[in-house]
Amino acid sequence: MKLSELRDLLARNPESALRFVLPKGRAIRADFHVTEVGHVVKRFIDCGGTVRSAEACVLQVWLARNDRDHRLAAGRLASILGLAKAVLPSGDPDVEVEYEDGLLSQFPVVSFAAKPGVVTFKLGSKHTDCLAREACGLESGCC
């Protein structure tokens, strides 16, 4: 999901509850907080010597005590994104969710659905890969 898609979705559904579903199908508890919105840039060199970069808008989701009265609506998250304009790029990075579930992990938002009263975000998994397969002697499709 791109940042522009997230902004548009939140604006169209300001009263809706938000639901994040982890890759294995379990939902993050409804009383989560979005404690950070960040622009994360990673500059790196792959094993073949090519300099690369990747960037994302990262929403940090955090659980405090079980708070039955705390529910973050789409309009409130839109307001938080508005506050984050100073740190977000003018481009359109992918959106990821950072969440601690045993281990701190970042999950890309792979799909979303808006139904009356709730916007659901399906989170995917990130994987490592060799970006210079030919330089390493690995032909694509070999593994």
pLDDT digits (tens, 9 = 90+) for 76-127: 999 999 999 999 988 899 999 999 988 999 999 999 999 999 999 999 999 9
The answer to whether position 132 is within a domain reads no
pLDDT tens profile 50-76: 999 999 999 999 997 777 778 899 999
pLDDT at residue 143, as a whole number: 47
Residue 41 falls within a domain, yes or no? yes
pLDDT digits (tens, 9 = 90+) for 12-25: 999 999 999 999 99
Tokens 């060199």 found at = 45
Q: Is 109 inside any structural domain?
A: yes
Structure tokens at 137: 């002697």
113: left (phi over 0), alpha (psi -120 to 50) or beta: beta
Q: What is the pLDDT of residue 116?
A: 96
Q: What is the pLDDT of residue 7?
A: 96
Q: Is residue 110 part of a domain?
A: yes
Whether 137 is covered by a domain: the verdict is: no
Residue 129 falls inside a structural domain: no
User: What is the pLDDT confidence band of residue 10, given thresholds at 50, 70 and 90?
Assistant: very high
Structural domain boundaries, residue 47: 3-123
Q: What pLDDT is attached to residue 68?
A: 75
Report yes or no on 143 lying in a domain.
Answer: no
Over 70: is that where the pLDDT of 140 sits? no
Tell me how many domains the chain contains.
1
Q: What is the pTM of this model?
A: 0.89
136 found inside a domain: no
pLDDT tens, position by position, 30-51: 999 999 999 999 999 999 999 9
